Structures are given as structure tokens and as C-alpha cells.
């Protein structure tokens, strides 16, 4: 371990807390609808900040892209579009099933798919070595956690439905939300894949004078920038269908916009801070460090969900299923990321 290991772990813990709580401002929106808030959030987090960092910190960014050729840009762009679609469904899941359930399911599945796909693509022989065996060992824990979470979530909907008159609607929302969580978790790892296939862009950035850390911002611009497109399209569709575009100009818009901007800046800061922490941790940054990032994100998201009333009106038995589900998913994340030590 290097001299900055514990400092790096503290920074990663902070980044996980920010990641787990970035969507909380949405709960306090009063006049804007989901599409209004998500559009401003996406504009800040996926477009303005990433491109500002790329152009500001990567010398000769346009020359970098021209130098690596179209083929080297294609995969980061394609995975960015796929991740952007998953990011949109992530936002919808937050609205349908809440912060706690969305973060746990999505983080667990994304951690698995984000590790499994690169392993099969780049190092398939490692599947039968300690790293791959730990990955396979994590799958049963993850599946049990997801099943328990689905059961706890269904019990929550049934128990809360007895206090409301829209029980069938709530049950339908839960089923749709769970399906979207699973989709998001599987394809949300496209973020990592975009970086995994962005090696030529990073090397080109370093040749232009960018440092090891800032060179990644050239890939940031591609992956997050193209990821903004599906979010933009879906938000525009909802604004037109629901006739909510006029809310941008109504009284109270500065407060609503500020909440959305805080969401975007918090999410970007969480990702940036994790990168700094992982660099400080050193060789353990992408294994133990990433494990801490996901675990703290899941735990804080569930704590935030409890505090903000997502599980209000549920029985002690239902909350015990929730705790058990979180425990199994955390074990899966820990076992999975321990593979990075080998």
C-alpha cells in the first residue's frame, strides 16, 4: 500500500456518498415535472461539464480525435449511446420505485456486467482463474439479493397500497420500475466499456501533452456527450406529449433549475472524485476502491430512501427483507471486486 492509500479511500467514500445521493434534489421539486428536471440535469452532467473538461484539460482535443481515426471513436460513441439510454431508464426507475431500490439493483447488476463483459472480451482465459472464479461466485449472492429486493419491494407496494386508492396503478409502476432497473443494470456498464475501448483516444491525448488522469477526459466527452443524446430525445418527447415545456418559464423556475443543476454537479463531482481517490489508492483503486465506491453508494441511497419516506407505512418484516437484500448485494459487490486483487 502506498502512503496515500487511506486518504484515497476516504476520498472514494465521499464520492460514493455523493453518487448515492445525487438524485435527492429531485424529491424536493415542486412545479417541474420529471422531464424538466432530468433535461437540465442531463445537460449539465452529460454535456456541459464533460466537454468543458475535455476542451479545457486536453491540449489539441480536435487533433486527438482526428489523429486516432473514426474507427477508434466508433466504439466509445456507440457504448456512450447505449449507456445514455440506460441513464434515461435509470432516471425513470428513480421516479417509479425510488432511490433505494434503484441504486441497489442497478449497482449490483452493473458491477457484474461491467466486470464480466471486459473479462470475456479481453481475457477470457481468466474466467477459470481466481479473478474469474470470484466473479462467478458473486453471481448467486447477487441473484438472491435481487430476488429479496423484488420481494421486499412488492411487499412495500402492497402494504402502502392499502393506504391509497390507486393500488393497481402502484403495482403496475413497481413492475415497470423493476424491469427498467434490470435493463439499466445490465446496460449501465456500457459506461465502463466505452472507456475500456477508448485506449487509442487516451494514448492520443497523452501524446498531445495531457496527463494520465486528464487524458481520460477526451473519452469522457465522447461517452457522456453521446450519452446525452438519448436523454435529450426522451425528455423532448415527454415535454411535447405532456405539454410541460412551458414550466421552464413559470414562476419558481430558478429554484427548480438550481435543484437540477445541483444534481448534475453532484453526480459529475462524484465520478471525478472517485477517479482522484482511485489514483491515490494506487493499484487497489479499481478493486478495493471501486468496491467501496459501490458499497457506500448503495448504503447511502438506501439510507436516503428510508429517511425520505420511501418505505413509510411498511411492516418490520418487509424492512427486514430490505436489509437482507442489501446485505446480499453488498456481499456480491465485495466478492466481485476482490477479483481485482488477483
Q: What percent of the chain has pLDDT over 70?
A: 93
Number of domains in the chain: 1
Single out the residue of 89, 2, 44 nearest to residue 271, CA to CA: 44
Q: What is the DSSP string of 158-202?
A: HHHHTTSS-HHHHHHHHHHHHHHHHHHHHHTTHHHHHHHT-HHHH
Q: What is the mean pLDDT of residues 252-270?
A: 96
What value does the mean pLDDT take over residues 116-131? 76
The pLDDT-based confidence of 50 (bands split at 50, 70, 90) is very high
Exposed e or buried b per residue across 4-29, where buried means at least 16 C-beta atoms within 10 angstroms of its C-beta: ebeebbebbbbbbbbbbbbbbbbeeb
Domain of 133 in residue numbering reads as 5-341
* Alpha-carbon span 51 to 72, nearest angstrom: 18
pLDDT digits (tens, 9 = 90+) for 168-226: 556 678 889 889 999 998 888 787 778 778 889 989 999 999 988 788 899 989 999 99
- Tell me the average pLDDT of the chain: 87
Q: What's the confidence (pLDDT) of residue 307?
A: 87
pLDDT of 194: 83
Return the percentage of the chain with pLDDT > 90, whole number: 44
Q: Is the pLDDT of residue 161 over 80?
A: no
What's the average model confidence in pLDDT over 141-147? 88
163, 99, 102, 152: which is closest to 313 by C-alpha?
163
- Nearest residue to 341 via CA among 298, 294, 284, 291: 284
Give whole-number Cα distances, 204 to 208, 214, 215, in Å.
6, 12, 8
Q: At what angle do helices 61-97 and 34-42 cross, to 10 degrees?
A: 160
> Across residues 267-294, what is the average pLDDT?
78
Amino acid at each position: 500500500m502506498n502512503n496515500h492509500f487511506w486518504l484515497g479511500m476516504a476520498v472514494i467514500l465521499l464520492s460514493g456518498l455523493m453518487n448515492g445521493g445525487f438524485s435527492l434534489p429531485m424529491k424536493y421539486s415542486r412545479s417541474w415535472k420529471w422531464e424538466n428536471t432530468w433535461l437540465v440535469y442531463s445537460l449539465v452532467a452529460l454535456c456541459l461539464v464533460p466537454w468543458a473538461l475535455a476542451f479545457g484539460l486536453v491540449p489539441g482535443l480536435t487533433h486527438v480525435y482526428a489523429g486516432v481515426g473514426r474507427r477508434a471513436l466508433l466504439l466509445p460513441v456507440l457504448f456512450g449511446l447505449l449507456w445514455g439510454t440506460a441513464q434515461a431508464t435509470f432516471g425513470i426507475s428513480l421516479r417509479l420505485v425510488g432511490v433505494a431500490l434503484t441504486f441497489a439493483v442497478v449497482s449490483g447488476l452493473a458491477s457484474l456486467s461491467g466486470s464480466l463483459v471486459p473479462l470475456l472480451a479481453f481475457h477470457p482465459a481468466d474466467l477459470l482463474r481466481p479473478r474469474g472464479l470470484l466473479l462467478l461466485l458473486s453471481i448467486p449472492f447477487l441473484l438472491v439479493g435481487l430476488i429479496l429486493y423484488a420481494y421486499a419491494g412488492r411487499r412495500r407496494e402492497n402494504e402502502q397500497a392499502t393506504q391509497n386508492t390507486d393500488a393497481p396503478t402502484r403495482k403496475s409502476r413497481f413492475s415497470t420500475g423493476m424491469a427498467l432497473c434490470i435493463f439499466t443494470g445490465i446496460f449501465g456498464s456500457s459506461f465502463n466499456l466505452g472507456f475500456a475501448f477508448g485506449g487509442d483516444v487516451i494514448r492520443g491525448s497523452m501524446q498531445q501533452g495531457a496527463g494520465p488522469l486528464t487524458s481520460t477526459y477526451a473519452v469522457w466527452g465522447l461517452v457522456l456527450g453521446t450519452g446525452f443524446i438519448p436523454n435529450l430525445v426522451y425528455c423532448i418527447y415527454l415535454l411535447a406529449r405532456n405539454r410541460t415545456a412551458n414550466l421552464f418559464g413559470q414562476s419558481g423556475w430558478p429554484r427548480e433549475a438550481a435543484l437540477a443543476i445541483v444534481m448534475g454537479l453532484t453526480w459529475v463531482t462524484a465520478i471525478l472524485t472517485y477517479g482522484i481517490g482511485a489514483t491515490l489508492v494506487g493499484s487497489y483503486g479499481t478493486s478495493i476502491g471501486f468496491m467501496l465506491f459501490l458499497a457506500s453508494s448503495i448504503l447511502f441511497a438506501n439510507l436516503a430512501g428510508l429517511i425520505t419516506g420511501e418505505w413509510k407505512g411498511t411492516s418490520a418484516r418487509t424492512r427486514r427483507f430490505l436489509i437482507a437484500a442489501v446485505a446480499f448485494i453488498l456481499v456480491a459487490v465485495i466478492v466481485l471486486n476482490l477479483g481485482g486483487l488477483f
